[in-house]
Amino acid sequence: MQGRTNFIFIVADDLGFADLGCYGARVPVSPVLDAVAARGLRFTQGYANSPVCSPTRFALMTARYQYRLRGAAEEPINSRSRGSTVLGLPPDHPTVPSLLLDAGYRTALIGKWHLGYPPAFSPIKSGYEEFFGPMSGGVDYFSHCDSRGTHDLFEGEHEHREDGYLTDLISRRSAEWIDRIAPSNAPFFLSVHYTAPHWPWETRDDAHVAAEVKDNLFHLHGGSIHTYRRMIQHMDEGVGWILAALERHGALANTLVVFTSDNGGERFSDNWPLVGGKMDLTEGGIRVPWIAHWPDAIAPGGTCEQLCMTMDWSATVLDAAGVDADPRHPLDGVSLLSVLRAPDRTFDRPLYWRMNHRQQRALRRGRWKYLKVDAHEYLFDLPADERERANRGTREPDRLASMRADWEAWNTTMPPIPGDATVSLGYGLEAMPQR
């Protein structure tokens, strides 16, 4: 198949940076993705726009800092937002899929949405021709019910009931969509947003757990590292089904396949050597895997140290498709197309974050990271100290002051955090040194 570039953007949910074999996992859980990385390009300094689910997804969809939209101030959007006309992705805001759809691409989201509830918000209202999956953040893998016990599996904007393990349903639907769309020779953009390995902790063989967790989907009383790893294996196998569908139609070479996670790992993530996790602006909360596979443009077997975050990959998709941004909503994301083709030609890319939770702020600039948690400030030399244990702030006060000023200048360009924004409980920072 020749013609315009196709795109498959695969997002895992709460997968830590080091949870895949190609990123240092201690056991072989991801043979498919490891092979994809070996045939493509693996980024070692890539980040999520946020350490929590829905804010990152706002950035993924818009290629802009999530802080520009009210709904992204929720950390994250939760089921109490049902019925809200404010807490979601505004249908009139241009998105990557809406811009591609207008340019002649076929578009679909198969998997998690988590950007507001119907009738005000939905994937169909934001550029996807087709949608299959849950609207909320976390659902049971078998009953497909959310944390309030509400059934949450949709086909388009209509509730849909279908038996099966959700990870497999997402994988099979994705492969079937490719089988249906690829023969038309129209270019396509497919978002595959897994809920794995997000809680509840259920493998294909754990249907009995659904009754046990229906009143507490957080599953605080169960799960294990073994279950978590098996959930990753199921997702990895499904990625193989999707790639096989591309191969069946001769579309693999001309398709940019991107794999990542929406934020760092949670609870059972074996994320050595990083510390912290979901909800944290420590490395464990925001550094994530980024794998790119595109035989027509990417040389196999490479690694890249380019600093990047979620919205940069969204900008890359638009650049590779030859589609311009809406001038009313200029992109904050920066295209990575040049480093996909020449991984050693990295460029300067400062990255900024802020969180309502514990009043966190962070800036990554070159090898240095500025971090503030509550009233405590830190300066880390990350290549020398990925675990963020050696606070260099007192040794290099001028650098600390410069990075603080840089972050504060950036923050003035963003809307303030609304006073009524909510923060989910149940997550927390690993104890940081208080000095």
How many helices (H) and strands (E) are present in the chain, helices listed first?
Answer: 10, 14
pLDDT at 270: 87
- Can you give the pTM of this predicted structure? 0.96
Between CA 142 and CA 191 the distance in angstroms is 22
Between CA 270 and CA 15 the distance in angstroms is 10
3-class DSSP string for 299-324: CCCEEECCCECHHHHHHHHHHHHCCC
323 contacts: CB under 8 Å, gap ≥ 6: 99, 100, 103
pLDDT at 60: 98
pLDDT at 2: 58
Between CA 89 and CA 72 the distance in angstroms is 8
Give the helix, strand, coil percentages of the chain, each rounded to 5.
Answer: 30, 15, 55
Between CA 104 and CA 55 the distance in angstroms is 28
Residue position matching structure tokens 């009383």: 221
- Mean pLDDT by runs of 10 across the 435 residues of the chain is 87 98 96 98 98 98 98 91 94 98 98 97 98 96 95 97 98 98 96 98 97 91 96 98 98 98 95 95 98 98 98 98 97 98 98 97 98 97 98 98 98 95 60 39
